[in-house]
Structure 1
Amino acid sequence: MTQATPTIRRTRRLLADGREILYYDDRASAPRTAEDSRDLGERALAGQLRRDPLTGDWVAIAGHRLNRTFLPPKNECPLCPTGRGTVPSEIPEADYDVVVFENRFPSFSAHAEEGAAAHGLLEHVPAHGRCEVVCFTSDHDASFASLTPSRARTVVEAWADRTAELSRQARVEHVFPFENRGQEIGVTLHHPHGQIYAYPFVPARTQSLLAEARRHHDRTGRVLGADVLAAERADGSRMVLEGEHWSAYVPYAARWPVEVHLAPHRDVPDLVALTGEERDELAEVYLDLLRRLDRYYPARDGQSPRLPYIAGWHQAPVHVGRDISRLHLQVMSVLRSPGKLKYLAGSESGVGGWVNDVPPERIAARLREVGKTGDVGEPREAGR
């Protein structure tokens, strides 16, 4: 048992098949001693990483994931505490605050198939790395947006703590915390949760971000992410909210029907580098932003629909580009109007030629509008 912060207690335990589970407690609670009583057999092995010779991208081949749990009924939810449903869950305790555990069906793992690597045009290697599940709350019917600020702060601490630990593991090159919400996105479990992928390579989008940041730095001597944030704040038309330490804006060339970036005012490479004050405000600002997103489309029958989204933390890679990388969160939704999805058809999927039917300025205006009513956080409204 260790202290993640003076007010958050971290406890590390093992599940029945040897996977790690970590409890992050922000409330007074009994020691975490419950045992996993399931007969799980041997843990699943991750498969192979294969390199696409046409693009240089790495692709994880993970056939075992076809058998993963898919939209179970509430009484069989594997992310609820054990005892609330009809079967033991992934979490042996009867209640919890925030929990992180190794994915039972990992795309990447330290326990990967150790077949001989192949090189040349048809190159493959074991899919080393790690995949973790982050349970934001024990409440099955909650959402991240419904968390209290103190619980959201615990999640922020868990993200930072896991980023630090995973970054120290052998073979890990990049750590990516993210949340998928909504069946439209493709979630397979309704319980509010996210994931953390620790990749043994730098993913393609991160490489693109690094390349642009390097070109900008070589030309100007400045950090691209900082200059983009300054330009958005100076223009103002796409700003959503501004706090003391964080600002949210719709990017100038937004790809998605709803897309927002949340960035710190200070140059930091990752969540680990945030100060306590920056983490405190992040919990408040992020809740404000998510609640605005849930009010983005007009209410029906007195209730606003929960917006399906992907939220991902873009951090600096573990070993390269840390001097020019800048932390930011990207939230994006495929819902272009109630009941209508944006599909990545020929242009986007085929060649990456994006077309967005919604002007970014209109997205930002709507998010400012819905922030004027309802439950919003402390940061002031963007004054434009």
Structure 2
Amino acid sequence: MASEKGRGATRNEASGRFNIPHREADGDWLDALPAIDGLAPHRRTSVTIERARRIITRNNSPDIAFSQSINAYRGCEHGCIYCFARPSHAYHDLSPGLDFETRLFAKPDAAKLLKEELSRSNYRVAPIAMGTNTDPYQPIEREWRITRQCLEVLAECRHPLFITTKSNRILRDIDLLSDMARDRLVSVALSLTSLDPLVARTLEPRAPHPLRRLDAIRQLAEAGIPVLTSISPVIPGITDHEIEALVARVADAGAREVSYIPIRLPHEVAPLFRAWLDEHYPDRAGKVMSIIRDMRGGRDNDPDFRTRMRGQGVWADLIRTRFIKARMRAGFTGERLTVRTDLFRPPEGPQMRLF
């Protein structure tokens, strides 16, 4: 199956991890069109309303810097081929491939649920992360505005927040974010993978242009909002040659700190990425996967908490050394972007606050 214009994955097979049968061509009329009359279908994006019971998700992973998060959406229209969240679509009997980027779920009750959870007497304040699974500023946020509604609740409650995104759509909410930043209640991690628009177009087909993301970093910084840039993922043989240029450009744009993560290929992401390589980089597909496997202990993916975010071996050490040197040359100091937790106040109920 060839890639579809504006989409990242080249395949749409269902996962086999949950005993769900692979989707055959005649199981979806869009998939069947090429076989029927040779037409290449234009796969439309659909959004299904999800009625969640709770909106705050908690984790205790030792290599993740937050304990609770909010995901307003499932699936992501950005279509990043490397996205580690793709396997989550298999829980819904959908493919981590094209379904992940075209069959989306939205949680319109998120702000209401958030107010309810923050109002509980046993709630203990800790920074909430947004964008940890799928992007809170993907294209459908323009109409659904669920991220904006959650931000309004958090701003009212003076609740600390971390946001991760690769979209300049975050600038729409600069009024709320700058207000929170004055009290040191928010920091933003804006992801930038490549400066080459041709590479970015195949890696992240519906994410904003790299120059727009650099401009977003600049505008956020000028508004007093602390910005970290995540150069993630670093893909050997595809984007690793840009490490030094990326670090220098984000420093010039005003980022306060910079980080990176070598590419991870959990579960169904590995075969999707291999198929993507075969289509877009057939001349080096074998070499790229060989280096990735070398960094991941001989496997496509390393799920170990100790090494999954860093990689191991000669190639991982080389990338780490180059990144550290580039970071020092750009003037980054290792500043930790922290947020305050002492200003929290529960949401107002039916009775207004007395003070």
Structure with the higher strand share, 1 or 2: 1
In the superposition, the TM-score normalised over structure 2's length comes to 0.27
